[in-house]
C-alpha cells in the first residue's frame, strides 16, 4: 500500500497506538514493538529478530535504525504495509495440500467464457479467455458450433453474438493457460458440432496443445478408482465432454479396420438391408422418446445436465413441450466423434438423474452439470446427499439461460454443499464475482482451494441447512475504526460514507451489519464501530467489507473487499478497497481491529 499524501498527524488512531507502546518517548524501542506484535497483532511467533527486521524495513531515519528503534513515521509506514494487511500474507502463496483428488477442491470456473457482454448481441472475444486465465480461472467454457469451410466456431448459439474460431480459442488457451497457475485447466465443451467438425476440433486440440493436453490416463496404481490431484495434473489441460462407451469405441475401431473388406464383399442389397434396419432402430428410438416425454421432470426445461445450456422459459405448456422435443432432437443429433471422445479422460460429462443413481452407477471420472434452478432445489431438499455426492464426484453449476444479460447467481450456496465447478459470468460485476474473487485469492490465487474437511470426509454428516453443525464456532469481534482517501465522485462532492460488513456462509451465519454514516468526509472518516459475530462454520465463510455513500434514502457503491474468514489476520489491520470492476483503489483503505477465538 502506498503511503497517503495526507499528513500522518491526521491519523490520530494510529498515533494513539504508537504513544501507548512508546510510553511517551519519541521513538519505539524494538522490545516495545515486539510487545505490540504479541499483544495487539497476536503474532505469537514474533521475536526480537522479527521486530528488528521491521525496523530495518520501514524506518528511514538512520539514527533510529542504528539504535534499533522506530519513529512514528516508520511505524506509520509499517501499519500501512503488507505486513499489516488484513489478508494473511502466508496465503498469497500456495500453502494447501495439493495432493488430494481433484473433487476435493473448489475450482475457479467461468461460464460463457468467450463473451464480454450479454448473451443475445454481446461480443465474443479471445481477450475474454486471456482475462479469465489471468484472474486464476481454471475451468473455461467453449460453446462449439459448425462453422463454414469445416472450421468450428465459438459463440452463443441461435443469437446475434459475434463468432470466433475454435482453433483461435485453443491457441489462446495454449499461450496463456499457465501464466498465473501451474494447476490443470479444464476446457468445458458445450458441443453442438457434427462428427465431421468434431474431428477437426480433436485435431486442433491435439496439434495446438501438444504435450499440455491430457490425452491418456495417468499411471496411478496406488490410488485406483480415484481422481488424480492438482499436483499430478500440473501443466495439463483436460477436456470435459461426453465420451463414447469403451464398447462403442471398440466397435468403431473394428468397423474401421474391416471397413474396406466389408465394402468389397457387401453388395447393394446388403446396404439396403442395413439402411432399413437403421430406419427401424431410429423409429423405435423415436417412439421410446415420445413415450418417455410424460416422465420428464418439471425442471427439464431448466437443465439438460449435459452442458447444453438452457433457453429462456417459454410461456405456454404447448411451447414448453415443443421446446423439450426440440432439445431431444438436438441432443440426439449431437453424436460424439470417436477422435474427440478419446481426448476425454477424467472429465466425462454424464446426465444427472438422482443422487441414488449416481451412487450406484456413476464412475469417479464422470461428472454432471446442473442448471442453477435444479441445483438450488437439490440444495434446499437434499443438501446432505449433495454434500456426499460432491465428496466423490465433480459437479458443475451454471447460470440459468434466462440470464440473458449475463447476470450471476450467488455462488455461496453451491460451495456450501461442496460443488467444485461453480461457474459464473466473469464479465459481470457485483456481489457474486466479488465473492468468487474473494474465495479464490486464497491459496496463492492458483484457482484451486481445498474444501474443508467436513466436505471431503463423511464422518460429520454435514448439512449446511441445519442450525447445528457440530463444528467449532468462531466468535468474531470486528471494529471498523476509520477510512482513508476514499475516492470522491466526479462532482467533487465529499462523501457521506458508511461501512457495511457482510458474512457470507451457511444460512445460519449469513448476516450484515453497518456503521453509522459520517458526514462530508472522504479523506479520513472515523467510525469506531464495534461488531460481534458468532460464525458456526468459519471454514466456509467469506467476509465482505463494502463502503457506501449515503445519498438520501439510498446509498451508492464506493468500494469493497472480500476475504475468506480463514485468511484474516488478527489485530490492527488495513483493508484495501477495490472498485466495482475489481481494480485497486489504492490508497483508499479501511483501518480495522480484528479478534476471534
Parallel/antiparallel/unpaired status of strands 139-145 and 185-191: parallel
The single residue of 156, 192, 376, 389 carrying the catalytic annotation is: 156
- Cα dist from 449 to 92, 97, 103, 184, 440, whole Å: 12, 9, 11, 13, 7
The single residue of 38, 91, 104, 111 carrying the catalytic annotation is: 111
Question: Nearest to residue 113, comparing CAs of 84, 147, 138?
Answer: 138
Q: What distance lies between CA 488 and its chain's CA centroid?
A: 31
Residues 6+ apart with CB under 8 A from 583: none
Q: Are 177 and 187 in contact (CB under 8 A)?
A: no
Give the Cβ contact number of residue 550 at 10 Å. 16
Q: Check if 475 is active-site.
A: no
Length of the chain: 597
- Distance in Å from the first CA to the final CA of the chain: 28
Q: What distance lies between CA 59 and its chain's CA centroid?
A: 40
What's 96's DSSP letter? S
How many helices and strands, by DSSP H and E, does the chain display?
A: 16, 22
Q: Check if 176 is active-site.
A: no
Q: State the DSSP H helix or E strand holding residue 478, giving kind and residue range, or none if neither.
A: strand 474-484
DSSP structure string for 142-166: EEEE--GGG--EES-TTS----EEH
Q: State the DSSP H helix or E strand holding residue 52, giving kind and residue range, or none if neither.
A: helix 48-58
Contacts 24+ apart (CB under 8 A), 349-355: 349/240, 349/241, 349/242, 349/243, 349/306, 349/307, 350/242, 351/304, 351/305, 351/306, 352/305, 352/395, 355/382, 355/385, 355/386, 355/388, 355/389
Q: How far apart are CA 438 and CA 445, in angstroms?
A: 10
Question: Nearest to residue 42, comparing CAs of 104, 76, 88?
Answer: 88
What angle, rounded to 10 degrees, do the helices at 166-176 and 126-134 form?
20
Q: How far apart are CA 230 and CA 95, in angstroms?
A: 13
Q: How far apart are CA 452 and CA 473, in angstroms?
A: 14
Active site amino acids: 111, 156
Amino acid at each position: 500500500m502506498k503511503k497517503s499524501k495526507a499528513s500522518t498527524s491526521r491519523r490520530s488512531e494510529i498515533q494513539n497506538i504508537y504513544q501507548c507502546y512508546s510510553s511517551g518517548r519519541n521513538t519505539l524501542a524494538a522490545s516495545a514493538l515486539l510487545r505490540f506484535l504479541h499483544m495487539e497483532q497476536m503474532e505469537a511467533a514474533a521475536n526480537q529478530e522479527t521486530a528488528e527486521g521491521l525496523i530495518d524495513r520501514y524506518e528511514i531515519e538512520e539514527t533510529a535504525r542504528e539504535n534499533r528503534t522506530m519513529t512514528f513515521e516508520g511505524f506509520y509506514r509499517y501499519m500501512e504495509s503488507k505486513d499489516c494487511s488484513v489478508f494473511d500474507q502466508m496465503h498469497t502463496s500456495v500453502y494447501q495440500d495439493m495432493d488430494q483428488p481433484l473433487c476435493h477442491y473448489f475450482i475457479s470456473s467461468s461460464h460463457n467464457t468467450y463473451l464480454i457482454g450479454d448473451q443475445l448481441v454481446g461480443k465474443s472475444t479471445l481477450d475474454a479467455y486471456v482475462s479469465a486465465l489471468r484472474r486464476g480461472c481454471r475451468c473455461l467454457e467453449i460453446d462449439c458450433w459448425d462453422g463454414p469451410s469445416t472450421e468450428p466456431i465459438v459463440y452463443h448459439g441461435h443469437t446475434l453474438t459475434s463468432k470466433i474460431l475454435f482453433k483461435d480459442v485453443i491457441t489462446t488457451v495454449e499461450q496463456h493457460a499457465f501464466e498465473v497457475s501451474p494447476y490443470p485447466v479444464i476446457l468445458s465443451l458445450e458441443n453442438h458440432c457434427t462428427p465431421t467438425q468434431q474431428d477437426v476440433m480433436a485435431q486442433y486440440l491435439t496439434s495446438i496443445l501438444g504435450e499440455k493436453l491430457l490425452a491418456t490416463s495417468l499411471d496411478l496404481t496406488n490410488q485406483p478408482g480415484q481422481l488424480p490431484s492438482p499436483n499430478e495434473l500440473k501443466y495439463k489441460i483436460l477436456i470435459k465432454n461426453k465420451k463414447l462407451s469403451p464398447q462403442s469405441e471398440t466397435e468403431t475401431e473394428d468397423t474401421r479396420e474391416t471397413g474396406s473388406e466389408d465394402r468389397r464383399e457387401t453388395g447393394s442389397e446388403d446396404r439396403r438391408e442395413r439402411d432399413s434396419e437403421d430406419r427401424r432402430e431410429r423409429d423405435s428410438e423415436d417412439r421410446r422418446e415420445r413415450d418417455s416425454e410424460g416422465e420428464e421432470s418439471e425442471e427439464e426445461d431448466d437443465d439438460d445436465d449435459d452442458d447444453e445450456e438452457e433457453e429462456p422459459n417459454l410461456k405456454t405448456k404447448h411451447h414448453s413441450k415443443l421446446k423439450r422435443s426440440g432439445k431431444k432432437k438436438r441432443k440426439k443429433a449431437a453424436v460424439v466423434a470417436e477422435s474427440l471422445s478419446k481426448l476425454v479422460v477424467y472429465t466425462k460429462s454424464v446426465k444427472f438423474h438422482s443422487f441414488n443413481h449416481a451412487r450406484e452407477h456413476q464412475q469417479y471420472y464422470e461428472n454432471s452439470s446442473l442448471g442453477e434452478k435444479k441445483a438450488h432445489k437439490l440444495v434446499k431438499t437434499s443438501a446432505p446427499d449433495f454434500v456426499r455426492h460432491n465428496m466423490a464426484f465433480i459437479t458443475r453449476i451454471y447460470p440459468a439461460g434466462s440470464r440473458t444479460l449475463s447476470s450471476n447467481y450467488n455462488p455461496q450456496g453451491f460451495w456450501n454443499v461442496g460443488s467444485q465447478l461453480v461457474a459464473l459470468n466473469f464479465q459481470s460485476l457485483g456481489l457474486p464475482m466479488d465473492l468468487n474473487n474473494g474465495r479464490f485469492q486464497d491459496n496463492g490465487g492458483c484457482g484451486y482451494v481445498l474444501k474443508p474437511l467436513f466436505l471431503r470426509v463423511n464422518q460429520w454428516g454435514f448439512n449446511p441447512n441445519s442450525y447445528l453443525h457440530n463444528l467449532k464456532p468462531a466468535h468474531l469481534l470486528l471494529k471498523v475504526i476509520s477510512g482513508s482517501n476514499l475516492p470522491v465522485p466526479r462532482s467533487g462532492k465529499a462523501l457521506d460514507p458508511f461501512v457495511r460488513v457482510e458474512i457470507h456462509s451457511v444460512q445460519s451465519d449469513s448476516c450484515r451489519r453497518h456503521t453509522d454514516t459520517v458526514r462530508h468526509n472522504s479523506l479520513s472518516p472515523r467510525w469506531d464501530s464495534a461488531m460481534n459475530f458468532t460464525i458456526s462454520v468459519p471454514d466456509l465463510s467469506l467476509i465482505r467489507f463494502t463502503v457506501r455513500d449515503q445519498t438520501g434514502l439510498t446509498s451508492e457503491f464506493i468500494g469493497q473487499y472480500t476475504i475468506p474468514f480463514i485468511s484474516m489476520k488478527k489485530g490492527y489491520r488495513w483493508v484495501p478497497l477495490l472498485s466495482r470492476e475489481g481494480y485497486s483503489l489504492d490508497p483508499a483503505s479501511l483501518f480495522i481491529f480484528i479478534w476471534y477465538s
